Amino acid sequence: MKIYWKKLDDEYVPNFIDKNTRKNIAADIEITNLSNGKTTLYEKIIKLTKVCRIVKGGRKYRYWALVVVGDMCGSVGFGVAKANEVQDAVIKSGRCAKNNMVKVPLGRNKELISNISGRYNSTKILMWNNRDGVGIRASNAVRSIFDALGIRNASAKIIGSRNPHNVIKATFAALKQLSIRFRLWKRCS
């Protein structure tokens, strides 16, 4: 396997070239159906914070939760919610994440089908595949998304703000671009 660096939007990203390159990548992609609620979903709390509002009588505290949910077979979603109790905030954000799940096309070995990048506000994220056995090299927020998707070997580089909310939105923007690319490949082949 040969590695070379490709310039992508003023940043250098590694591109991997395998000797046995596939001509039609769309033939190697499998899509699994979204579970109908019978299988258990992977759920991870990314950020849980205590927020305060000042009122006439004093301070009112609430809890803010950011949760990622996935079926480990190509579907993932995230949710944000506030509540007066921690457990309520986590349950509400988990329910929001299940309602907003996105289907992502993966390769045969549960890998990304191409190098992708996404942007949200001042955060830019670049994602690419690793060879087998390397594992996930990414921040905690991106790692939890990869785990929820079922991806075992991938890397990600964050450029700009590392706020978990912005990182997750940039990652989902990149994953949506990947779905659009897959649809175009299927239409052309």
The torsion angle over the Cα atoms of residues 95, 41, 186 and 26, rounded to 10 degrees, is: 150
- The residue type of 172 is F
pTM, whole model, 2 decimals?
0.76
Q: How many CA atoms lie within 13 A of 20 on its CB side?
A: 0
CB atoms within 10 A of CB 20: 5
Domains and CATH numbers, the chain: 42-99 (3.30.160.20), 104-188 (3.30.230.10)
pLDDT value of position 14: 47
Stretch 119-135: mean pLDDT, rounded?
91
- pLDDT score of 121 more than 60: yes
